[in-house]
Amino acid sequence: MQGDLTLCGWRVRSALALPDLLPWLGGDSPVDIDISFGAIPTPAEPPLYTLPHSTLWADGRFLLHLEQVGKFWVEKGRRIVLEPAEHADESELRTFLLGSVLGVLCHQRGLLPIHASAVRINGRAILIAGNSGVGKSTLAAALGARGHALVADDITAFDTPTAMLLPAFPMRKLSLDVLDRLALPHQGLIANRPGQPKFHVPAADGFAPAPLPPSAIYILHTDRLLKSCAIDRAAPAMAMALLDRMIYRRAVGMKIQPPPALFLGLSKLARIAPVYRLRRAEDPSLHRLDALAEQVEAHAAVTRPLLAGSGTE
């Protein structure tokens, strides 16, 4: 069995191989998250909330079920039980474990998970938030190619009490066209799901392993009417509305955490880091990717956090 691993700064002991996670170097502290294979618990009482793939019971006990992949039980923010489907391969288990399950884990642990990639620029982290397919990981990778370390890809956890963003794990999900555009090799990469054009790309050499204060939040949109890209500050009320839509696993999260706790996190985040709408032209050929990264880099270099972000109210 592999040694203990690091995820969002937690000590993880996993029966499932997780080659994308860094080893645990934090000394003798107790294990935070235990991942095992086994039979999924079956609560006697009815669930509180049911979605096609998700079931939630009292105390935030959560089950993710995908017929072709398996069942993922997540409990108390510390215990995960996996029951793989017959023909599932390990990489598919990892896709959901480091995706939806991580999101639920954050909610159970009282963190605010944002649907965003985070990149370190000048000692702070910018968030690139947005809906799936809008280009968060792509922009983060283009910034990576310009020397800016990855903090988190796709899911970024904000710790409200300390007002810090937690480094997730050194892996990006990138599609073939982006790998080619950034001249990254795709030999030996594992697909997100078998046959999908999206791959798990190790990023260990460009990863920021320590928590960072947020400096700016960019909500990424594509806009077919634009010729290049535009960055506009969102007024406070709009900033909250935009950010609210970016809560990762929002529907389930609102049932696990008291909604006021989530909104407190959002408002604290938005009070520290200005929220910008980052609208870019559709760019299927990725010809404008470098220019976009350059523009965001230049913007992030001069943007100032609104508060010091030391955790004080």
Binding residues for another protein (CB under 8 A): 51-54, 66-68, 95-96, 99-100, 131-133, 173, 175-178, 192-198, 222-225, 249-252, 281-284
Q: Which is nearer to another protein, 224 or 304 (CB)?
A: 224
Q: Select 64 or 273, whichever has its Cβ closest to another protein.
A: 64
Q: Both tokens of residue 276?
A: 């910008």
Q: What is the DSSP string of 3-52?
A: --EEETTEEEEESS--TTSEEP-STTPPPSEEEEESPPP--SSPPSEE-S
- DSSP assignment of 145-168, as one string? HTTPPEEESSEEEEETTTTEEEP-
Cα–Cα nearest to 272, from 305, 244, 239: 305
d(CA 238, CA 266): 12
Please, what is the minimum distance in Å from the beta carbon of residue 53 to another protein?
Answer: 5
Q: Which of 134, 273 has the CB closer to another protein?
A: 134
Contact criterion met (CB below 8 Å) for 124 and 305? yes
Indicate the residue among 131 and 267 with the shorter CB distance to another protein.
Answer: 131
Find the shortest distance in angstroms from Cβ 112 to another protein.
16
Helix (H, G, I), strand (E, B) or coil at 289: helix
Q: Which is nearer to another protein, 80 or 272 (CB)?
A: 80
Q: In angstroms, rounded to a whole number, what is the distance separating the alpha carbons of residues 147 and 192? A: 25
Least CB distance from residue 283 to another protein, whole Å?
A: 8
3-state secondary structure of 74: strand
In terms of DSSP H, where are the helices of the chain?
90-96, 102-108, 136-145, 176-181, 236-244, 250-256, 259-272, 289-302
Of 66 and 189, which has the nearer Cβ to another protein? Answer: 66
* Residue in the structure block whose two tokens are 């968060």: 136
CB of 252 to another protein, least distance (A): 5
CB of 55 to another protein, least distance (A): 12
Q: How far is the CB of 187 from another protein (least distance, A)?
A: 17
The gap between the terminal CA atoms of the chain, to the nearest Å, is: 44
Considering the complex, state which of residue 251 and residue 308 has its C-beta at the smaller distance from another protein. 251
Residue 92 CB, nearest approach to another protein (Å)? 9
CB of 197 to another protein, least distance (A): 5
What is d(CA 51, CA 48) in angstroms, rounded to the nearest whole number? 10
Strand partners, 63: 55, 73
Q: Which is nearer to another protein, 281 or 291 (CB)?
A: 281
